[in-house]
Amino acid sequence: MGRLFGTDGVRGVANADLTAELALGLSVAAAHVLAEAGTFEGHRPVAVVGRDPRASGEFLEAAVVAGLASAGVDVRRVGVLPTPAVAYLTGALGADLGVMLSASHNAMPDNGIKFFARGGHKLADELEDRIEETYHAHAAGEPWDRPTGAGVGRVTTYDQGFDNYVAHLIGVLPNRLDGLKVVIDGAHGAAARVSPEAFARAGAEVITIGTEPDGLNINDGCGSTHLAKLRAAVVEHGADLGVAHDGDADRCLAVDATGAEVDGDQILAVLALAMRDAGGLRKDTVVATVMSNLGFKLAMEREGLSLVQTAVGDRYVLEEMKRSGFALGGEQSGHVIVLDHATTGDGTLTGLMLAARVAATGRSLADLAGVMERLPQILINVPDVDKSRVTTSPEVRIAVTDAERELGATGRVLLRPSGTEPLVRVMVEAADIEQARSVAGRLADVVKSALG
């Protein structure tokens, strides 16, 4: 697998890349590294373990639980719950560690392991590195120091996790959703029970699709990566809006009453104004990535709000929010972080807050989302090139300068090397789709000839 930890934990094809042996070994390594770091000092350690409904999650959960307990960690199994629920419960229960088994929006054969530190925060990069080093050392034959007798971890099922998490979501909503009709697409994933329950308790009339997980159908033609069924259901039922989650429900996309998509940028724009009006948007600033639509930036400027942009990835958004004390951030893909109420992206919370804004204002979601105009965005992947030279090639630099001059203030160019493949992503935004397509095509040709 190369390096085990990626930007969002360890992920791969379950039982091929991500085996029971790997899951067990990483869990033991995590326990030892955290013990050495002083996390467990003075008390008996506790971990919260949850998963999404993938069939492979059953054996991987068993491996993780076995590994932690064998290392002397008491385990609270919370079952099938969203990633943000496991993060929340890790903090709420005062646990030393949280573990989520999910591959998010990936297809069913994949799975992943994500660790949370005390408080439900992402594990520090240096701790992930040490866990990986420790795992490899012991996989090579170095023996573990294992507790015996009363020192081994005890395993219990924590059935209250579902109700505790839903109560938390309802408790942070600014207002109820009475009078709203909402369609929820649970992606046959981790939010299949949680999201409909939370919306119903908040007062909404709820219609569900994608809420019958069988372990094999997660993300299959449904959820935030496949919006067609949600669009059709919203129109068919005359709903006010629709909400779509991914497999582990850390993201949310929406559709308005006409069935039109409301993406992460538009959701961020709606929530930014809601939080500003309520006095909760610290420093009047939103954090987003460089891939956010230029229309989002222009809308925030029009509203007198500041925008801080980071590298692509919700981890970079979160790091900037923590570093600078900002309250709201997110990505176009629907990862939205409301830091006062969650330590990670929370799709159910995002959907609830979006619906709450509709209910509070009496305005349609289409009207609210109209605060920003999505400029046409063309993305071309240029494969088999030397991506390391994208910022140093004179030919590419001249082509980018010419493109920016042609587009002016209402357009944007972004060239980004892929983090995992030998390709460069060429992204162009412009007020006119044909102009965006033309400029992107010319830039892609230059990248191919100069770096190929």
Active site residues: 104
Nearest to 259 by CA among 231, 282, 220: 231
Q: If you write DSSP's letter for every residue of 325-373 in order, what string do you get?
A: T-SEEE-TTS-EEETTT-SS--HHHHHHHHHHHHHHH---HHHHHTTS-
Give residue for tokens 């929406």: 254
Partnered with residue 80 across adjacent β-strands are 51
Distance (Å, rounded) from C-alpha 203 to C-alpha 211?
A: 19
Residue type, 63: A
List the 423-429 sheet strands across, edge first.
377-383, 423-429, 412-417
Let me know: does 51 contact 79? Beta carbons within 8 Å: yes
From CA 56, how far away is CA 103, in angstroms rounded? 11
Give the chain's radius of gyration (CA, Å).
23
Strands (E) across 231-296 are located at 241-245, 252-256, 261-262, 285-289
Q: Look at residue 244 and give its three-state secondary structure.
A: strand
Contacts of 140 (CB under 8 A, 6+ apart): none
Cβ proximity of 248 and 102 under 8 Å:
yes
Residue 315 has which token pair?
A: 């981890």
Q: In angstroms, what CA-CA distances link 31 with 47, 52, 132, 414, 451?
A: 9, 22, 12, 42, 45
CA distance 94 to 61: 21
Q: How far is CA 427 from the centre of its chain?
A: 22
